[in-house]
Amino acid sequence: MRYWYRAVLLRGHEGARKQKELTAYLFAENPVEVRDRIIEMPAVRGRYKSIRRISDDQAMRLEKRIVDEGRITLEKARETWYYPDIN
Protein backbone atom coordinates (compact mmCIF):
# COMPACT_ATOMS: atom_id res chain seq x y z
CA MET A 1 0.00 0.00 0.00
CA ARG A 2 1.23 3.48 -0.84
CA TYR A 3 1.00 6.53 1.42
CA TRP A 4 1.80 10.23 1.30
CA TYR A 5 5.00 11.27 3.06
CA ARG A 6 6.05 14.77 4.08
CA ALA A 7 9.75 15.44 3.57
CA VAL A 8 11.64 18.50 4.77
CA LEU A 9 14.37 19.02 2.18
CA LEU A 10 17.48 21.17 2.09
CA ARG A 11 17.67 23.00 -1.21
CA GLY A 12 20.61 24.72 -2.87
CA HIS A 13 22.57 27.29 -0.98
CA GLU A 14 21.81 30.90 -0.25
CA GLY A 15 25.37 32.09 0.30
CA ALA A 16 27.57 31.58 3.33
CA ARG A 17 26.80 27.84 3.16
CA LYS A 18 23.14 28.28 4.10
CA GLN A 19 20.50 25.93 2.80
CA LYS A 20 16.82 26.71 2.40
CA GLU A 21 14.31 24.30 3.93
CA LEU A 22 11.60 23.18 1.55
CA THR A 23 8.59 20.93 2.19
CA ALA A 24 7.69 18.31 -0.40
CA TYR A 25 5.09 15.57 -0.44
CA LEU A 26 5.85 12.21 -2.02
CA PHE A 27 3.56 9.22 -2.61
CA ALA A 28 5.44 5.99 -1.86
CA GLU A 29 5.32 2.59 -0.18
CA ASN A 30 7.94 3.27 2.49
CA PRO A 31 10.49 5.89 3.64
CA VAL A 32 13.30 4.14 1.74
CA GLU A 33 11.47 4.70 -1.55
CA VAL A 34 10.95 8.34 -0.54
CA ARG A 35 14.68 8.73 0.11
CA ASP A 36 15.51 7.17 -3.26
CA ARG A 37 13.20 9.63 -5.02
CA ILE A 38 14.66 12.58 -3.11
CA ILE A 39 18.05 11.69 -4.59
CA GLU A 40 16.56 12.22 -8.09
CA MET A 41 15.19 15.70 -7.30
CA PRO A 42 17.03 18.58 -8.96
CA ALA A 43 18.54 21.16 -6.56
CA VAL A 44 18.04 18.79 -3.60
CA ARG A 45 20.00 15.65 -4.59
CA GLY A 46 19.43 13.65 -1.44
CA ARG A 47 19.73 16.35 1.22
CA TYR A 48 16.84 16.12 3.67
CA LYS A 49 16.07 16.76 7.32
CA SER A 50 13.11 14.49 7.96
CA ILE A 51 10.63 12.13 6.33
CA ARG A 52 7.26 11.45 7.97
CA ARG A 53 4.12 9.70 6.88
CA ILE A 54 1.07 11.95 7.05
CA SER A 55 -2.30 10.80 8.40
CA ASP A 56 -5.12 9.68 6.12
CA ASP A 57 -7.08 12.85 6.93
CA GLN A 58 -4.12 15.05 5.99
CA ALA A 59 -3.63 12.99 2.82
CA MET A 60 -7.24 13.61 1.77
CA ARG A 61 -6.83 17.36 2.35
CA LEU A 62 -3.54 17.33 0.42
CA GLU A 63 -5.09 15.56 -2.57
CA LYS A 64 -8.00 18.02 -2.56
CA ARG A 65 -5.52 20.91 -2.50
CA ILE A 66 -3.55 19.47 -5.44
CA VAL A 67 -6.73 19.10 -7.51
CA ASP A 68 -8.08 22.56 -6.57
CA GLU A 69 -4.75 24.25 -7.26
CA GLY A 70 -4.60 22.80 -10.77
CA ARG A 71 -0.87 23.46 -11.13
CA ILE A 72 -0.12 19.73 -11.44
CA THR A 73 -2.40 16.74 -11.89
CA LEU A 74 -2.93 14.34 -9.01
CA GLU A 75 -1.52 11.47 -11.09
CA LYS A 76 1.67 13.42 -11.87
CA ALA A 77 2.05 14.42 -8.20
CA ARG A 78 1.78 10.76 -7.21
CA GLU A 79 4.38 9.72 -9.81
CA THR A 80 6.92 12.39 -8.91
CA TRP A 81 6.48 14.80 -5.99
CA TYR A 82 4.47 17.86 -4.97
CA TYR A 83 5.83 21.15 -3.65
CA PRO A 84 3.04 23.22 -2.05
CA ASP A 85 4.92 26.47 -2.59
CA ILE A 86 8.22 27.21 -4.26
CA ASN A 87 9.74 30.63 -3.73
Q: How far is Cα of residue 12 from the mean position of the Cα atoms in its chain?
A: 16
The more confidently predicted of residues 40 and 27 is: 27
3-state secondary structure of 33: helix
pLDDT of residue 27: 97
H/E stretch holding 62 reads: helix 56-69
Where are the domains positioned within the chain? 3-79
Mean per-residue pLDDT over the chain, rounded: 89
DSSP 8-state assignment for residue 42: T
The CATH classification number of 3-79 equals 3.10.20
Q: What is the mean pLDDT of residues 28-39?
A: 94
CA distances to 5, 51, 63, 74, 75 from 26, rounded to whole Å, are: 5, 10, 11, 11, 12
pLDDT of residue 86: 60
CB distance 25 to 51 below 8 Å: no
